[in-house]
Each structure stands twice: as C-alpha cells, then as structure tokens.
C-alpha cells in the first residue's frame, strides 16, 4: 500500500511524505481583524470544512491579531510564523495595495506570500449613519463626518482618504478600533458616524439598520455592484478625469483578496499544493455550499494560482500610477 501511495505521489509531483505531513497536526490561521467581523467569520466557516479535504485532516484554530488595518498580521505571518505549512494568515483586502503604495510599517512582500485561494469577491462600501452630519457625498464635501477606522492599511481608511484627496470630501478617520464590531458599537453610541467594509457585514450583522435605513451606503468599491443597492455608485464612477480613475481603479482592485488565506514564504511547494487543492475542493463541496447558502453567506472563489498572478501584476503597477496613489494617501508625509 505504501508503494502505491508513493507511486501516485510521484505521478502527481508530490513526495509521498507530503501526504502524511498534516496527520495529527494543527494549522493556526492568524486573522488580521477583530473577532466577530466577517473576516473572522469567513475563516471560521472555512475551518469547519477545509480539513476534510486536507490529507491527514488536521485541526484548524484561529488566532486574531488585529492592528494597522491588517498590516500587523501580514508582518507576523511573513516574518515570524513557522514556515512548515502549519501557520497561515488571512488579512484585510487592501493589504496588498498598501504595499504597492509604499505604506508605512510594511514588512511583507505580497509576491513572496503563497496565496492559497479566495473565498469571496466582496463588494466594499462606505456608509454613514442616518444621524451623520452629512448623509451624501456632496454634503460631505462641506461638512466633516467622523468615521471609525481600524488602521492605515484597511479599506476603512484608504477609501475615505482617497475620496478626501481627490473628491474634496471631509471624512475624518478616527483610529484605534480593532474591528467593524467595535466601530458599529461606536456608531450606536454616536462616537462615529459610519465606516467602510463590506456591504455584507451590514446585511449580516446589522440587518435592522439596513431595513430601517439607519445606515446609508454612499459608494461601492469593486468592479461590480451589490444587486441589493443598484443605485449606489461604484467608486470608479465618481472619477472626473483619468488620474482619478487610475487611483479609484487601484483601490477597487482589492476584491480577489477579500477573504484569502495565505502561507509565508519558505513553506515547501508540495504542502502549498496540498493546501490549494484542498481549498479548491472545499469551494466545490456540495455540503459546504449548501451550508453557506443556508447561512446566507456568499461564495465566489478564486484559486491560489489566480491570486499569485494578481499579486505579481499589482507589483508591476507603473511608477506614475503608484505616485498618484501615494499622493492621494499622503504616504510620503509619513516618512
């Protein structure tokens, strides 16, 4: 039997030992967001089914490490986590773009991270409370609106910042929140009047806000609109010239990294192959899909190979486009 396993492994290009590596092991996934948010939830739902498709059926535990909009978690996995395939990461969707922009504190390289796959191309949103001093983009050009933010590398900061720089809005990012759950509590208390994130995070965690129009979506971020809010414009639709379109396109390119686990550099390729193929099988697992549908959770996966190419293409962003993005985010002022 061992000989058969060895021969099959050779045909697949995998060492026989790779098939046994995860037996009895625990995979720790460091999530760069606070507990209770959609990043944490998606990873926990994946952890229910993914091990069934990994040879050896390891257990998966989640380690929350919020900070700097996902940069803290990315830095940890890249530089500190074990490089044997037992420690992975899942961080915020604009963390790859933050590196391209030369953001402060970046100690990771998205081209060397080994992407496993993406569960969902999320539609981003910037939304404000019905109690906000301005409840439209035009009104926010003359009236300051305080928004809750989780860090410079996150959508909660980057989207309002580029809108301020290019469209003249007066969104004020209030830092220090660990996740969208904390920001939503701040909105309830009147400490903040809105936030970025996914529209799903409102539909899932605050359906009463959506139903009662207590939360007002101002703009969507991505290459497609959420069908439940078709009249809310995409960020790219607000561009008034090619320079603005360039920056908005870059910011909107984050969807393929919305819920995307990755491994640090140095993990053997055979183990990356095992994790990627098990991820792909999970995304096609009828029981997984039925469970997600029952939970009203969207799934629109990308493969690890697709993400690897997207990451490499991002790193090839022309210098003039990077300069526009850096100027909008005021990156050079941090140095």
Q: What DSSP assignment string belongs to 170-232? A: -EEEE---SSHHHHHHHHHHTS--EEEEEHHHHHHH-HHHHHTT-EEEEEEESSS--TT-TTS
Spatial contact of 188 and 46, defined as CB atoms under 8 Å apart = no
| Rg of the chain taking only CA atoms, in angstroms | 20
147 forms beta bridges with: 173
pLDDT tens digits, residue range 155-168? 999 999 999 999 99
Fold of 124-254: D-Maltodextrin-Binding Protein; domain 2 (3.40.190)
pLDDT tens digits, residue range 2-49? 334 333 444 444 454 677 999 999 999 999 998 888 999 999 999 999
Under 8 Å CB-to-CB from 62, ≥6 apart: which residues?
28, 29, 31, 40, 43, 44, 47
* Domain boundaries defined on the chain: 2-121+257-318, 124-254
- Computed over every residue of the chain, the mean pLDDT equals 93
Report helix angle 242-251 to 155-167, nearest 10.
170
Q: CA torsion sign, 68 to 74 to 127 to 181?
A: negative
pLDDT of residue 34: 87
pLDDT of residue 18: 72
Q: In what order do the strands lie in the sheet with 261-263?
A: 59-64, 26-31, 87-90, 261-263, 114-115
pLDDT of residue 331: 86
What is the average per-residue pLDDT within 309-325?
96
CATH architecture of 2-121+257-318: 3-Layer(aba) Sandwich (3.40)
pLDDT of residue 274: 98
Taking CA atoms, 101 is separated from 72, 320, 331, 332, in Å, by 17, 11, 7, 10
What is the average per-residue pLDDT within 94-112?
97
Q: Is the pTM of this model over 0.85?
A: yes
Spatial contact of 26 and 60, defined as CB atoms under 8 Å apart = yes
pLDDT of residue 291: 98
């Amino acid at each position: 039997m061992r000989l058969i396993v060895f021969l099959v492994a050779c045909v697949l290009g995998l060492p026989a030992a790779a098939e046994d590596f995860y037996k009895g092991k625990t995979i720790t996934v460091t999530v760069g967001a606070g507990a209770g948010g959609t990043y944490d939830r998606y990873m926990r739902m994946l952890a229910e089914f993914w091990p069934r498709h990994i040879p050896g059926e390891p257990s998966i535990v989640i380690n929350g490490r919020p900070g700097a909009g996902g940069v803290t978690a990315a830095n940890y996995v890249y530089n500190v986590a074990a490089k044997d395939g037992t420690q992975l990461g899942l961080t915020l969707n604009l963390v790859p773009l933050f590196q391209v922009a030369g953001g402060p504190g970046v100690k990771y390289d998205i081209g060397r991270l080994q992407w496993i796959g993406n569960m969902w191309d999320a539609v981003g949103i910037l939304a404000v409370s019905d109690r906000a001093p301005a409840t439209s983009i035009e009104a926010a050009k003359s009236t300051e609106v305080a928004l809750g933010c989780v860090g410079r590398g996150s959508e909660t900061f980057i989207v309002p910042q580029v809108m301020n720089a290019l469209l003249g809005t007066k969104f004020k990012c209030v830092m220090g929140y660990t996740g969208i759950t904390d920001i939503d509590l701040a909105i309830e208390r009147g400490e903040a009047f809105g936030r970025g994130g996914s529209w799903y995070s409102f539909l899932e965690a605050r359906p009463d806000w959506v139903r009662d129009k207590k939360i007002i979506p101002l703009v969507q971020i991505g290459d497609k609109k959420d069908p439940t809010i078709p009249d809310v414009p995409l960020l790219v639709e607000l561009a008034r010239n090619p320079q603005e379109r360039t920056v908005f396109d870059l910011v909107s390119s984050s969807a393929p990294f919305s819920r995307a686990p990755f491994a640090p550099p140095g993990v053997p390729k055979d183990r990356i192959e095992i994790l990627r193929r098990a991820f792909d099988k999970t995304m096609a697992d009828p029981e997984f899909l039925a469970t997600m549908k029952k939970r009203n959770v969207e799934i629109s996966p990308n493969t690890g190979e697709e993400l690897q190419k997207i990451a490499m293409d991002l790193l090839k962003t022309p210098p003039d486009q990077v300069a526009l993005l850096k100027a909008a985010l005021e990156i050079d002022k941090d140095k």
